A = this chain, B = another copy of it.
Amino acid sequence: MTQNDFNNVCSLPVFAQLAKHDIDKLLLGSASKTLRHRDVLYRMGETAETFALVTKGALKLVKLLPSGENVIMSFAAPGDFIAILIMSRQANAYPITAVAMGASSVLQIPRQTYLSEWTTRPLVLERVNQLIFSRMTEIQEQKALGKASLAQKVASQIVSLIERFGDENGTILLMPLTRQEIADSVGASVESVIRIMSQWTQQGILRTSEQHLEIIRMDLIAEIIRGAEKA
């Protein structure tokens, strides 16, 4: 890991206000890994030797169903952990597949380091809990949308992604995201997602060029989420 990487890592909320030598210990034996678009970091079912801390880019956490469908469980942003919760269980397998969306990097940290360094520092554990809390909250919000219309789900998913992976204005999504992926994350078919989104494009609510997605009329999107469907 370069000095630059290290500084980057230190600025993440988990490590805020920790002494350099503490951070060194927490990262004992860890390796920085650079991922290209669609590279697989962890595959569901593999034995979990390390967990990961995202430092750049974005990853999707996917479950492959017996039926052959993909379900995107959630997205990981810089500062998020992947698979940290299974570190304290013996010889466990990754419960999901983690795939990079666009150029990304992560720090892979050995289970042993987690067991010896992370679990002995209350402050760190507390911070990890905070992150898990956010993830829980996010999933619960999605579940609360259970009976909403597909348009509401899609709008809400896009907005929450832009909140985490957007530009400074909060209007452009800085990560490649296909309609298939949106469908997989809200549990719908691609075609339905496309129909909804192209309608929005026609209405000038949304723009999608190259690999970027931009919301033009955030106010209208907000209305859709609130359930004021019709145009």
Contact = CB atoms under 8 A, between A and B. Distances in A.
A73 B143 contact: yes
A137 interface: yes
A166 to B, nearest CB: 24
Interface in A118-159: 119-122, 125-126, 128-130, 132-133, 135-137, 139-140, 142-144, 146-147
Given A129-B129, A137-B95, A187 B146 contact: yes
Given A120-B122, A122-B119, A95 B63 contact: no
A13 interface: no
- Report, as a range, how many residues of chain A touch the other chain: 35 or more
Contacts of A73: 140, 143-144
Interface in A2-26: none
Interface of A: 63, 65, 67, 69, 71, 73, 85-86, 88-89, 95, 119-122, 125-126, 128-130, 132-133, 135-137, 139-140, 142-144, 146-147, 187-188, 227
